Structure 1
Amino acid sequence: MFHYIPSGSDTNMRIERGKPVNKVFIAVRPGLTSLNEIKESVTRMLLELGIRVVDDLSKADVIMAIGGDGTLLKAVHESRGKIPVIGVKNGTYGTLMELNHDNLAEGLKRIVKGDYFVMLVPSVETMGERALNEVLLANQEKGKSMKLELYIEGERMNSFIADGIVAATPIGSWAYSLSLNGPILDPRVNAMILAYIAPWPPSSEIPLNPIVVPEGVEVTISSDSDMMVIPDGVYRGLTVREAVIRLTGEGFMLATLSSDARYFYRRVMGRIRRERR
């Protein structure tokens, strides 16, 4: 049962202590031979620790996603939020990835012993789809803008012309939303960001700044064109004229080595500074 425990300040996160691990599923991006070496290394270390590496994801205690953020997102969706996922960085920034070359060996030992935490992170939910980072609503006719209307809790807030809109989670505030001048949300803040893609200011009734709404608040977006619903960068064929979106606490499970929210900032900023060198 997930509960709230102190996370380094006077606010809390949905988190529980991890359990000792016996079986691990390793997820890698198919076709990338550059990942074979690190996969073999992780497999060898797990076997030395007495852990079984299984081929069936549903039988794993923990999923290890090796690569970049895209690999972790795919693993999270395949787990359906029922199995903790932890990332092993082998890409560029990898802001979602918990382990890297520096802490891999120690991290694996801690996970095996149950010396880790599992966070239940919120997801954006719409039309039966869920996303860890964000849901993108974009015109089905690529390269064309559309007339959008925005309602919050049934109250009409704005009407404008744009190429699309992004609804992002706190974790997703470091991704697509950030490129749209969306704010960075602390992972302890359960709120959803609405950020606009290429909006045309003269068409708007109020300034087109990103909006932040609390968990559970329903946001309705209607369009004069068919909109593609794209969760975490994957289009599955769903097209709508109107979408109801909200942030829900029924999200996904991510494994982490620390329950202190400051650890999240140290990890993310450390990766960014290292890649900029």
Structure 2
Amino acid sequence: MIFGITGNTRKEQLWRPVAGLLAWMQARQLRFCLHPAVAEGLQARGLLEAGVCKAHTSADLAGDADVVLSFGGDGTLLNTAHEVGRHGTPILGVNIGRLGFLADVEVGHVRETVERLLRGEYRLEARMVLEAEADNGTALEGRWALNEFVLLRRGETGMVSIEVKVDGVPLNTYWADGLIIATPTGSTAYSLSVGGPILVPGCGSVVLTPIAPHALTARPIVLPDTVRIEARVLNEDQPYVFTADGTSTVLSGPSIRLTIRRAAHTVNLIKLPEQHFFQNLRSKLMWGARKE
């Protein structure tokens, strides 16, 4: 098994755990390959010899690694997914961030976890993703999302009017700061923070959550993942932002109709046998915790 190593190079707490893991792997003659930015950072800090960095650097983790260890938080795992996930390469999130809904292996347990992966003590969760297309050929910076797509007002401009159809049938015209279209994986991210429901991974659903809607009757709605969602911002002269897992494209004009549907590919996340989504809810959201 070849382990790909990537991570959030903006976090200083990345370097020593990764360097320690690599020294441990070298002592056990385990094979690994490093994301170029990680290799460069280790070498610059004197934490790994230049020859080792050069020999084990790979610009194509998806092609060279059997699994990828992503050190960081959930945002880092999303970035990793966009680098390697489309190719089906399994990803293990190692948490050096704060919350860690996706990166749910704590950094102190990473060596033990690698040993378990070698013994085959894990399962893969195939997480659904969404894809988006603009009908007028406008290029979008992000074409697919593991967490969510967001249509959002830009800067200090006023609210946006967003017309939504589902399978060609009008659903609503939202007058709001924006609209989130989230997967079950993304239901515990931005959507949850603005009052959206929690969806269990694998439930085959998409949630539409308005952001600060003008009408109190505009509530989140859960749709089956088989639908085709069409969204169009009706404001004529007001620019707005379309984001895919945080990657943004500035758009303007009512002529752009976005079509959003379930993508053909999935992203494979590695989970240990004892890990369960409900366990995450209890530990991260403190469900069931008693106040003393």
**8 A contact 1:23–1:62 mirrored in 2:** yes
State the TM-score, normalized to the length of structure 1. 0.81
**8 A contact 1:23–1:61 mirrored in 2:** yes
1:200 equivalent in structure 2: 214
219-228 vs 86-95, which moves further: 219-228
Deviation at 1:145, TM superposition (A): 1.2
Inter-CA distance 222–215: structure 2 relative to 1 (3 Å threshold): same
Inter-CA distance 133–117: structure 2 relative to 1 (3 Å threshold): same
Larger proportion of strand: 1
Pairing 1:160-179 to 2, within 5 Å after superposition: 160-179=174-193
State the alpha-carbon separation in 2 of the partners of residues 177 and 23 from structure 1: 36
SS at match of 2:247: coil
Inter-CA distance 227–218: structure 2 relative to 1 (3 Å threshold): farther
State the alpha-carbon separation in 2 of the partners of residues 191 and 249 from structure 1: 15
- The structure showing larger relative contact order (alpha-carbon pairs under 8 Å, at least 6 residues apart) is 1
Segments of structure 1 that go 5 or more residues without pairing to the other structure are: 1-21
The alignment of Structure 1 onto Structure 2 pairs a total of residues equal to 249
Deviation at 1:102, TM superposition (A): 5.4
1:9 equivalent in structure 2: none
2:170 equivalent in structure 1: 156
1:75 equivalent in structure 2: 80
Inter-CA distance 142–254: structure 2 relative to 1 (3 Å threshold): farther
**8 A contact 2:207–2:221 mirrored in 1:** yes
In the alignment, does 2:276 pair up with 1:263?
Answer: yes
1:218 equivalent in structure 2: 228
1:45 equivalent in structure 2: 24
The Cα RMSD (Å) is 2.4
Segments of structure 2 that go 5 or more residues without pairing to the other structure are: 34-56, 134-141
2:52 equivalent in structure 1: none
State the TM-score, normalized to the length of structure 2. 0.77
Deviations 1:94-151 (A, max 9, x none): 1111311454232111112332112211012112711111111123465431112111
Deviation at 1:267, TM superposition (A): 3.1
Deviation at 1:239, TM superposition (A): 6.3
Equivalent of 2:104 in 91, 98, 109? 98
**8 A contact 1:120–1:249 mirrored in 2:** no
2:242 equivalent in structure 1: 229
